[in-house]
Chains A and B, each alone.
Chain A
Amino acid sequence: MSDVADRVRKIVVEHLGVDEEKVTDNASFIDDLGADSLDTVELVMAFEEEFGIEIPDDAAETIQTFGDAVKFIKDAQ
């Protein structure tokens, strides 16, 4: 379990109020974790702050699952 994945999972759990075990690699924020479109914007904002990176809008749209987020952040770092 990488440090990035732990930190991303913590943000997702806190923000969406879901159980940690539901946050799997293939878990879709919207379809599986109950996020609405505004939640996804807020998650991206939270990732940007946590990791000190900028996630452009077109990239943000490709981040659909927990695994997508972890991969994007690792690549961006």
Chain B
Amino acid sequence: MFDLTGKAALVTGASGGIGGEIARALHGAGAVVGLSGTREAPLEALAAELGDRAHVLPCDLGDAEAVDALPKRAAEAMGSLDILVNNAGITRDGLFMRMSDADWDDVLRVNLTAAMRLSRGAMRGMMKARWGRIVSIGSIVGSTGNPGQANYAAAKAGLVGMSKALAYEVASRGITVNVIAPGYIGTAMTEKLTDDQKQGMLGQIPVGRMGDPKEIGAAAVYLASPEAGYVTGTVLHVNGGMAML
């Protein structure tokens, strides 16, 4: 089950904790993977670890021209672009009353607008192939909100609306468009929290632990698989029961 042999997947933010595991999981299921991110060294390290079927495609998602060019670069490197995983994201947290235009714009540009540009660029090939998968990584915060993250929550909620509209448009062409909304996932970022902060967080999670990035990777493999062809326009919450939506 969940065999992605012969499919080519582009993963943005593959230098991060969740993106790296998504790339590993897709690669493990047989896909060719394109690893994108701003920092080249961790991408090269991941590609070396994966061996065959891995391509490094650095890109600054804040640069509109570079973003528009990325799907074509990916298709040329991999032979096609069948699966797009919009995973890259940044945070610029701050109280709403003090939020600067730049912090708002930067987060929307990278987390939402880049996903739109990449999806648009990937669409032509998917339409011709009559098969495609777009999986965007949202967040529980897009559904529940979170103080200090108005920009991030807006971008993540925006991914959901965009995905649903696009899902309608391209469903008849064998292309599905979905969102995975992680809750608290253990990554380098959450390692920095104090024990008190961690305990407070865990108290809100029925499963009683933080999620593993591998559990996001598994969700991505499922949504990318041929078996998930009847799943479109949905949000798959992977949050340990923290919000049962």
Contact = CB atoms under 8 A, between A and B. Distances in A.
A45 B125 CA distance: 11
Interface string B148-180: 000000000000000000000110110000000
Nearest to B127: A42
Given A38-B170, A38-B172, A45-B127, 6 more contacts: A38-B127, A38-B169, A38-B173, A42-B127, A45-B124, A45-B128
A38 B170 CA distance: 8
Closest 3 interchain pairs by CB? A42-B127, A45-B124, A38-B169
Contacts of A42: 127
Contacts of A45: 124, 127-128
Interface of A: 38, 42, 45
Interface residues of B, number: 7
Q: Is the interface of B mostly helix, strand, loop or mixed?
A: helix
Interface of B: 124, 127-128, 169-170, 172-173
6 contacts: A38-B127, A38-B170, A38-B173, A42-B127, A45-B127, A45-B128
Contacts of A38: 127, 169-170, 172-173
Contacts of B169: 38
Nearest to A37: B169
Contacts of B128: 45
A38 B171 CA distance: 11
Contacts of B172: 38
Nearest to B169: A38
A19 to B, nearest CB: 22
Contacts of B124: 45
A73 to B, nearest CB: 19
A42 B173 CA distance: 11
A60 B222 CA distance: 37
B122 to A, nearest CB: 14
Nearest to A49: B128
A11 to B, nearest CB: 13
B142 to A, nearest CB: 27
B169 to A, nearest CB: 6
